[in-house]
Amino acid sequence: MKERNPMAAKQPMQRNNSRGANRKRSPGRKIVARAGARINRSAMKGTKATPEAANRLFSHRANGANGRNGAPSKSVPPLTFQQSRIALEQANQRYIDLFDFAPIGYVTFDRVGRIEEINFEAIRLLDRSRRQLVGLTFAICVAAENVDRFLVHLSECRSSKGPVLTELRLRRMNGETFPVLLSSTATSALMKDGARLYQTAIIDLTQRKRSEQALREKEAELELIVTQTPFMLTRCSRDLRYRYVSRAYAKMVGQRPEQLAGKSIAEILGPEGMAAIRPYIERVLSGETVSYEMLVPFKEAGAHYLSAAYVPDKNERGEIVGWFASMSDISERKRAEEKIAEAARQQASLYRLAQSWQNAKSLDDVYAAALDAITSALHTDRASILLYDGEQVMRFVAWRGLSAKYRKAVEGHSPWKPGTKNPQPVCISDVNHAELPKSLKAVIRAEEIRGAAFIPLVIEGKLAGKFMMYHRVPHLFTDAELDLAMTIARQLAQAIEHEKDQEALRERERELARELQDQKQLQKISSQLITQQKIETIYTQIVEATATLLRSDCCSMQMVLPKTGELLLLAQKGFVPGSANGWQRITRNGGTSCAEAFRRGERVIVPDLQRCRFVKENDLILYRKSGIRSVQSTPLFSRAGELVGMISNHWRNVHEPSKRELRLLDVLARQAADLIESKRADDEVRESEARMRATVEQATAGVARSDVDGRIIFANQKLCEMLGYAESELIGKTIGDVTHPDDSKENIGLFRQLVRDGKPFEMEKRYVRKDGSILWGHVSVSPVRDATGKIQSAVAVAVDVTARKEAEAELQRSNELLERRVRERTRELRTTNAQLESEIQRRKGLEGEILSVSDREQQRLGQELHDGLCQHLTAVAFMTRSIALRLRDHRVIDAADIEKVAELVNTAAVDTRNLSRALHRVDVDAAGLIVALQDLVDREIWRTPCRLEVKPSFQINDDAAAAHLYRIAREAVINANKHAKARQIVVRLERVRKEMMLRVIDDGVGFPKDLNPQQGLGFHIMNYRAQLIGGRLEIDSPQTGGTRVSCYWPVDEPRSRKSPNGHPSAAGMRKCSKSRVFPSDSTLQHLARQGAANA
């Protein structure tokens, strides 16, 4: 058996006790059960309401049911009265147990709300005892704020025939309230004193209310999320109307959510917006979940980029009644993405621009890449690039989409002047409102240009040009566009500068390549000439090679006839047929260029025959007949210095060959002369050999005969001599026995082929002499057939070519030597080029320093004029004015005043003369140097006393050197007066050993150890002058203090000397009128001397 729950037993006991206590009621109060029998609780006094009784009740009902359903074999016997009474009591007890132990609270009250019965669950809910509750008005258990509602509930119970439901809050003993649902039903089965009672169920709603509260909180939280976040939600119906709209969506379209509910979607979006989203609506209404990101136009709210997702909205039957739309406004993100994409596109354009410039082969490639970048990055289809030309006029160098008429009209126009520093972009937003000449504005309008921008191009800090971009409509240029345009402009300027440098470098490389190619061509020509045997062919090849090297239209070659002293035409190329007949023989006294070169013994170049003085009229007519306008003639000398011929080039236009071409011609002429001389000797040898062969037949060539196995069966005396064998020794030897091992395999192979096919062959091979030495032979082998045509032997003729092979080896060594010399010359050219560039940079710096010194000297002279001469003249003006006033007033004039005026005027004249002499001393020569120096030290303008010391040993004869020495001394004296703070300055002239010396000495402060006087411009100018006269300049500070400036130059200096930079010195310059000295070759040297004179 199961254990009984102690609490289950305790509760019935408490209930019975309370029931016994509550059973004390007034005698007149009765509860009548109308449905069968009256229920008398007193009759049930001895029956306990326990769980076991409830079990018995349910068990009895079950058994009774089974019996009524008819246990098949047994019938129920009729009940007696006692049994019926007991059964009734048991049923009553079961009802009471069901009422008391129901899981829902039940209470029975009358029409005024007085409690008549209450079960355990209701007692638990109200937290009171049965004794406290039965007979108590139920309104006391209702929360104060819901009492009126309970009274309404009672009223409805009295008037309603069905259940009455009311939600309210009940109050426990501790004051705690809780929600319940009262469900009251008036029943006629229970009555009291003839009045109906109301059976009321009390359903505890605490958990449900808590669940509803939690649900409401979740809904509020969701509503808050939907409302406070930019995430937008809408619920739409099939008829394309809004059913729900979140606050964010309503804010986006500019309305309130309640205004949008029920409105048509087309009314908010408009036709364009509906057309944009209609395909997605059709898809979601067909049951598909769709999403998109696109620009959706709204009727009044403008266009918005939306990221949306549509989900079908279905009812309980699964039918699609609309859709849910979740959206977010991504307009800001899209704008940011567009900005990022634009920036990326611009960066890509700049990157492609940089890549294009790196791969550019010319300036045209640079311009094309720049125009591509401008049109793509700056969103324009037309652009142009203009650069200053040599006349400082901006001209088009590249363009896109511009007509020739427009380019011609605006070329030269620029918003900046040449030399403008830091030019800024100039923008024209609308041409119609721009201040432009009418004619220019008309041309721009005709070109359909409404907006334009001028972007400057600056190279090396100077305005070099501009690029322009055009728009067909008015355009407001933003700062971002101008910044990008300036970036492109800076890169374009750098690319142009870089490409120009690269072009210069490429030109130098092309020049070196051409020279190398020419050297190779010379080598090839030399090889061809060496291998050629016929002298006439050699002459022709020399002429053709010369015409090719100098790119001339015609070329000719003559040979000197020693007996007659004439030039004989050997070969010619390119002349008009018959025109060269007049130059078959040319005498030394002729009027042609080759005759002039014959007379001079050197090259003659005539760039234009029409202006040549030595060409005679007859020869000029021949030149014109041949269409020749320019010519050069180069003599050909043998190694011994003998003139052996002449080679000439002719051009049909005015032309002068370059130094490089002439240098190549000299190399070819040297080889041609050698080859002519060598081939003459070879021809003489061959003629002699021919005569000998005619005399002694083939006694000069080795002849042998061998059988088909290659065994020698005959050898003539010449072959025996060549190989050093006796005839008997050679007979019986094979070909391999007398052939060098390296050539034996090839020789045997050719011989076997001859035996097999009967094909003669020639080869050059090495023979091995009897003494082991090597002999090079040229062998010709032919088969000898018998009467049947079968090869029975072979005849070989061998010629000794050892000398030629040695000559070829020597030639190869000469060629290698030539190539090595060419490479060395190329390295020298590169080194010279680098030195030249360094010299150019140094000269540029010197020019700038000279100009700076000139400016400072002008400033100093102006200050001296103002502080000195102007003060004197002002005083003279004041005194003459005073005298004039006295004269006007007829007063007596003091003669001393007039003398004072004269004294002031004389003083001003002296100052002016001193200043003029200080500016430039033009009369200093060797004879007047000492006088000029004495005048220099005696001037009153010096703050420090000066004196001149001349030693008897001093002497100078060069006027130009004297002028330079005077200016060196003047510069040193000026510097000592300015900076030395000395008490005395001495200018000394003397001879020291084999040198003359000019020294300027002061006893001043000297110069600090950390100061380098060689960095100053004054030192550079004095040192430059010293070098011009072949001397040197020294500056030092003795231990006793002060400064010494010493200039030394040799006594026996020649009159022509070059300065350190390679220009002629002062002694080598030519004199002009009025003792003015001019350089003979360089403007830079002229500037340097002018600057030094100004200093």
CATH of the domain at 619: 3.30.450.40
Distance separating alpha carbons of residues 628 and 615, to the nearest angstrom: 13
CA-wise closest residue to 234 among 255, 213, 209, 215: 255
The reply to whether 550 and 632 lie within a common domain is yes
Question: In terms of DSSP bridges, do strands 995-1002 and 946-950 run parallel, antiparallel, or are they unpaired?
Answer: unpaired
pLDDT for res 48: 40
Tokens encoding 395:
């001209």
- Residue 382 shares a structural domain with residue 398: yes
DSSP 976: I
> In the listed set 188, 204, 220, which residue is the last one of a domain according to the structure?
204
Cα dihedral sign for 727, 728, 734, 737?
negative
Nearest alpha-carbon partner for 427 in 395, 473, 468, 464: 468
**Distant-in-sequence, close-in-space partners of 240: CB < 8 Å, separation ≥ 6:** 264, 265, 266, 281
Q: What is the DSSP letter of 575?
A: P
Shared domain for 228 and 298, answered yes or no, is yes
Dist CA 495 CA 508 (whole Å): 19
**Phi-psi region at 302: left, alpha or beta (left = phi > 0; alpha = psi -120 to 50):** left
pLDDT at residue 986, rounded to an integer: 93
- Residue 464 maps to a domain: yes
Residues 87 and 109 in one domain: no
Whole-number CA gyration radius for the chain: 65
Does residue 62 sit in the same domain as residue 82? yes
Residues 679 and 706 in one domain: no
Domain housing 69: 1-101
174 in the same domain as 127: yes
Q: Tell whether 457 and 541 lie within a shared domain.
A: no
Distance CA 553, CA 546 (A): 11
Mean pLDDT by 10 residues, the chain (1095 residues): 37 42 39 38 38 41 42 54 80 77 87 89 88 89 92 90 90 91 82 81 89 80 68 90 89 89 91 92 94 90 90 91 90 77 71 71 84 84 90 90 90 87 90 86 90 90 90 89 87 83 81 77 72 76 87 90 85 83 84 90 92 86 88 90 89 90 86 74 67 51 86 86 87 88 89 88 90 89 86 87 85 88 87 84 72 69 73 81 80 76 78 63 78 84 86 89 90 86 91 91 81 68 87 89 92 49 39 32 40 40
485 and 556 belong to one structural domain: no
Residues 960 and 1084 reside in one and the same domain: yes
Helix/strand/coil percentages in the chain, nearest 5: 50, 25, 25
CA distance 450 to 473: 5
DSSP structure string for 448-478? T--EEEEEEEEETTEEEEEEEEEESS-----
CA contacts within 13 A on the Cβ side of 571: 16
3-state secondary structure 852-917: HHHHHHHHHHHHHHHHHHHHHHHHHHHHHHHHHHHHHCCCCCCHHHHHHHHHHHHHHHHHHHHHHH
CB 457 within 8 A of CB 466: yes
Task: Answer whether residue 901 is part of any domain.
Answer: no
Beta strand pairing call for 195-204 and 105-109: antiparallel
Half-sphere exposure of residue 382: CA atoms within 13 angstroms, side-chain side = 18
- The contacts of residue 442 (CB under 8 Å, 6+ apart) are none
Q: Which of 371, 377, 437, 444 is CA-nearest to residue 405?
A: 444
Q: For position 228, what pLDDT does the model report?
A: 65
pLDDT of residue 679: 66
Q: Answer whether residue 356 is part of any domain.
A: no
- Is 9 a member of any domain? yes
To 10 degrees, what angle do helices 659-696 and 479-531 make? 20
Tell me if 760 is assigned to some domain: yes
Domain-embedded: residue 658: yes
CB 958 within 8 A of CB 1055: yes
* Residue after which a domain boundary falls, among 329, 344, 371: 329
Q: Tokens standing for 381?
A: 């289809």
Q: Is the pTM of this model over 0.85?
A: no
CATH number reported for the structural domain that contains residue 1035 in this entry: 3.30.565.10
Element (H or E) spanning 100, and its range?
Answer: helix 81-100
Which of 746, 778, 800 lies at the terminal end of a domain, its last residue? 800
- Cα(127)–Cα(123) distance, integer angstroms: 6
- Classify residue 213 as exposed, middle or buried by CB count within 10 Å of its CB (0-12, 13-18, 19+): exposed
- Rounded to 10 degrees, the C-alpha dihedral 807/809/810/816 comes to 150
Residue 715 maps to which CATH number? 3.30.450.20
Q: What H or E segment, with its residue span, contains residue 714?
A: strand 712-715
Whether residue 865 lies inside any domain: the answer is no
Q: Which residue has the tokens 């720049």?
A: 370
- Location of structure tokens 């000797």: 681
Q: Is 160 part of any domain?
A: yes
Count the domains in the chain: 7
Burial of 197 (0-12, 13-18, 19+ CB in 10 A): buried
Q: How many CA atoms lie within 13 A of 54 on its CB side?
A: 13
Shared domain for 1067 and 968, answered yes or no, is yes
Do 267 and 312 share a domain, yes or no?
A: yes
